[in-house]
Structure 1
Amino acid sequence: MEATSKRSSHLCHENGDWMSHLPENLWDVPLHNLSLPGSHDAMTYCLDKNSDVSVNESKLLQVIDKCMPCIIRPIIMKWSITQDILREILKWLQTHPQEVVILACRNFDGLTKELHHHLISCIKKIFHSKLCPKDVVPTLRNMWTYRYQVIISYEDVTEVMNHRELWPAIPYWWGNKTAARDLIQYLERMKKNGRPDCFFVAGINLTSDLEYILAHPFGSVKKMALSSLPYLKLWIKKQYPGPKRECINIIAGDFIGNYDFVNDVIELNKKIIPPLHYDGNETELKDVS
């Protein structure tokens, strides 16, 4: 644990200003046409000992939870991480004024209208003028000019319509696979169908189903993720950012401080040659083999 912590801290320091270090000819390219590293585990909701299993889980898992909560919940808890880090993000942004973060708010199980308003109010209060409105073309040059540093993706259509600071939900290519090879096959199928026009995430996170959890009672999401990273690393290095059909944008995974994940994703931006000027319309990027 200590070694992993030191590695993550070093990685954060090493790449803390990576956006400001991008070449100037990328400053006018929309962020959704760049390659961005993302974390799937940064703000994951976690069960406590008194929580019910989410309705998003399988019916079998819900039944077992009702019948044997003292058995199933301690196992499920090992596969979750809870972090309330909005204010920590703000502190980090204040010391990295040219960096931009994209936060995705989703999976609002049981969230009432009042709670939505409370959450949005907290987001606005914490980030305030750093929030980028959705009518702004999110290039680095624009973000720096207006001192925007935060893009909030919100998975509620009504709230997005009511608040210009909230961006539509970002599509997440979630393979729901327990094996890295199966996950890559899923991602390649999604690429052939064509990328979305704006932000989207290619998730390289594996998912533990009930069968996997019961077969690995002493396992964890971390062990599962770390064992797959070397294989997934090879897939990442073959990707290209940009607006073309099979290009990627955000690549997100669990425990991204390992195996140079962040460096590999950032390096993909060297594969694109943008136009010298961007007029706010569709940007055409060329891939460099």
Structure 2
Amino acid sequence: MENLDEVSIEKVPMEDVREFYENLESWMSDLPPQLKTLPINHLAIPGSHDSMTYTITKKSKIGPDGPHFLRYLGCLLPVVRPIIFNWSITQHEDVKAQLNGGIRYLDLRVARKCQSDEVCFLHGLYGAPVEQPLNDISDWLSLHPEEVVILDFQHFYEFDDSLHHELIKIIERTFRGKLCPVFSSFSHISLQWLALEKYQVIAIYRNIAVLTATNLWYSNLWITPWPNTVNPGYLVRFLDEELETRNTETGFVSQCLLTPDTYYVARHFFGNLEKDLVNVCRDNILPWIREKKPGSDGLNIVISDFVSYNDFLFSKTVIQRNAELLKWSDKTTSRKYIEVRSKSKT
């Protein structure tokens, strides 16, 4: 039996609140006990956009997700492939480095590799086969038993039913025992509860094939509106409007990123995502994040490109917003806190 203790939660003067990101590798484990009892869709959680693009190289084959004219040119002219590479890379660090840097949400795009049944990550160009990076995540979680990672399988290219079945088997095999089952309500899904149950992975699968699995989450339980703009002013307005109308009963992803369209890439053909868009985006989103509060109607998951910039400043900024939750009144946050003890699964 676990030891139950009633915790009296009082308002904490903000000057007395420590930095929640002192150790990014274990920031969830290190949160104050009262925050571990809150539903996970109330917490501010940093994530990376197109998380696996670090596995792409300039020699990678062109994937099926890019604009048709670039795919055509890339097949005709080898010089085009490095240009596609410049606009495809969104993360420099491998997945373990991202997790060590506080990232707890991973945005995953997958495709069937040309004329085979191999499933690879991709963004413009093919990346690595899915097995090794997923194994890296599982290994990392085994060393960090109170940390939780949200995997969002966002897009599937050149897939059929059999390949969906195969990918689902890979996910279930890789994270056996770690996968949190699907629930229609988030009310009990706190870091405390997840640690007690030894669940460390919430896997979202945005395809109807998810209906065949009991431990993969549906799209409508994790809303992720896409701003689809290169205009930083529009991005901030979009983020505000979507956050103001978020469903308090679901998870919510704020996509703090600028997305080049075909016209933009053509005008900046020899540029790259980081130089031309990410820096100006960062200048706008970091102040925006610092103004927002987490909670059922506030920040939840926040994602961005090149999250390792300036020693993971993005992660630190998002994580520290959870300090705002300590301002809540006793009536709002008081509940039983269960001291997490080691236990074996039945």
* Same-fold status (TM-score > 0.5): yes
RMSD: 2.5
Q: Which residue of structure 2 lines up, in the alignment, with residue 283 of structure 1? A: none
Q: Is the 8 A contact 1:133 1:165 kept in 2?
A: yes
Seen in structure 2, the aligned counterparts of structure 1 residues 219 and 67 have a Cα distance that, compared at 3 Å, is closer
Pairwise CA distance, 1:88 = 1.2
Structure 1: give runs of 5+ residues left out of the alignment: 1-11, 280-289
Pairwise CA distance, 1:66 = 3.3
Q: Is the 8 A contact 1:201 1:252 kept in 2?
A: yes
Q: Which residue of structure 1 lines up, in the alignment, with residue 203 of structure 2? A: 152
Higher percent of residues as strand: 2
- Asked if residue 23 in structure 1 is aligned to residue 75 in structure 2, the reply is no
TM-score by length of 2: 0.69
Q: Aligned with 2:333: secondary structure? A: coil
**Distance across 2 between alignment mates of 1:49 and 1:96:** 33
Moved over 3 A (4+): 44-53, 63-69, 71-74, 81-84
Q: Which residue of structure 2 lines up, in the alignment, with residue 234 of structure 1? A: 287
**Distance across 1 between alignment mates of 2:51 and 2:41:** 20
**Distance across 2 between alignment mates of 1:64 and 1:124:** 35
Seen in structure 2, the aligned counterparts of structure 1 residues 52 and 15 have a Cα distance that, compared at 3 Å, is closer
- Asked if residue 225 in structure 1 is aligned to residue 291 in structure 2, the reply is no
Q: Which residue of structure 1 lines up, in the alignment, with residue 88 of structure 2? A: 80
- Asked if residue 194 in structure 1 is aligned to residue 200 in structure 2, the reply is no
Q: Aligned with 2:270: secondary structure? A: coil
Q: Is the 8 A contact 1:32 1:199 kept in 2?
A: yes
Q: Which amino acid aligns with 1:108?
A: F
Q: Percent identity?
A: 31
Q: Which amino acid aligns with 1:151?
A: I
- Quick one: which of 276, 291, 300 aligns to 1:249? 300
Seen in structure 2, the aligned counterparts of structure 1 residues 171 and 204 have a Cα distance that, compared at 3 Å, is same
Pairwise CA distance, 1:67 = 6.0
Pairwise CA distance, 1:102 = 0.0
Q: Which residue of structure 2 lines up, in the alignment, with residue 267 of structure 1? A: 320
Q: Which residue of structure 1 lines up, in the alignment, with residue 15 of structure 2? A: none
- Asked if residue 276 in structure 1 is aligned to residue 334 in structure 2, the reply is yes
Pairwise CA distance, 1:72 = 4.8
- Asked if residue 34 in structure 1 is aligned to residue 43 in structure 2, the reply is yes
Q: Which moved more, 1:121-130 or 1:221-230?
A: 221-230
Q: What is the number of residues matched between the two proteins?
A: 260
**Distance across 2 between alignment mates of 1:251 and 1:37:** 5
Q: Which residue of structure 1 lines up, in the alignment, with residue 257 of structure 2? A: 205
Q: Is the 8 A contact 1:240 1:248 kept in 2?
A: yes
Q: Is the 8 A contact 2:230 2:259 kept in 1?
A: yes
Seen in structure 2, the aligned counterparts of structure 1 residues 216 and 151 have a Cα distance that, compared at 3 Å, is same
- Asked if residue 173 in structure 1 is aligned to residue 225 in structure 2, the reply is yes
**Distance across 1 between alignment mates of 2:23 and 2:308:** 11
Q: Which moved more, 1:13-22 or 1:34-43?
A: 13-22
Pairwise CA distance, 1:63 = 4.0
TM-score by length of 1: 0.81
Structure 2: give runs of 5+ residues left out of the alignment: 1-20, 90-126, 338-346
**Distance across 1 between alignment mates of 2:278 and 2:334:** 40
Query: Higher relative contact order at CA 8 Å, sep ≥6: structure 1 or structure 2?
Result: 2
- Quick one: which of 174, 181, 184 aligns to 2:236? 184
